[in-house]
Amino acid sequence: MRVGVITFPGSLDDRDAQRAVEIAGGEAVALWHADRDLQGVDAVVLPGGFSYGDYLRCGAIAAQAPIMSELIDQAGKGLPVLGICNGFQMLVEAHLLPGGLIRNDHGRFVCRDQRLRVENIDTPWTSLYEQDEEIVIPLKNGEGGYIADAETLKRIEGEGLVAFRYLGANPNGSANDIAGVRNEAGNVVGLMPHPEHAVERGYGPDTTERMRSGIDGLGMFASVLRSLAAA
């Protein structure tokens, strides 16, 4: 299965996302923000970074990039899309996901291994996890506070659109400890933590087994490949 990873000016985790796809057993396809062709890929990852220098709002300019027109169209037809950190910001700016993301409530950039609970496994990106499974993947952001108005939050919670929730201390002031959400169809998922940094032993978070051995993020990439193969 071919999974596209779009590079924008300022992307810095695009190669990591490509490697995660390959470790999971897929073919990573490098896509460019200025193109309009998704090259027939089976799924797309919007990677982390600081697209366009985070001018205006994080992800706001990237959401208007030429390739996003095709992405929005194909997402509406069921294409699996994963937005990681800056990619999550792009998805909310493109109105593919509800809510928004603002500066961390403590005003500082945060970088740490973060505990999460998998809240929804009915998506192509989470199907290999157990419901309410606790995972640990790295988090690094300065504008990761998830917000939405009261009515939207009520709908998100009521319809089960929360995909991931922070456990332990809330790292950025996100409403309801929300770390990631999905769309109504389930094919589009966005989260602030970085699963692509927890896919290979020796480079992931520490575990009780040994240092740097955590690979909890690999499940997202393996999930979408299995879902595509079963389709």
Residue 85 catalytic? yes
Catalytic residue among 33, 93, 119, 194: 194
* DSSP code, position 162: E
Strands 43-46 and 2-7: parallel
Residue 111 catalytic? no
Catalytic residue among 85, 119, 143, 197: 85
Contacts (Cβ under 8 Å, ≥6 apart) of 2:
26, 27, 29, 39, 40, 41, 42, 43
Catalytic residue among 33, 196, 197, 200: 196
CA 150 to chain CA centroid, Å, is 23
What residue ranges in 13-121 does DSSP mark as E strands? 27-32, 43-46, 81-84, 100-102, 110-118
Residue 194 catalytic? yes
Supply the residues annotated as catalytic: 85, 194, 196
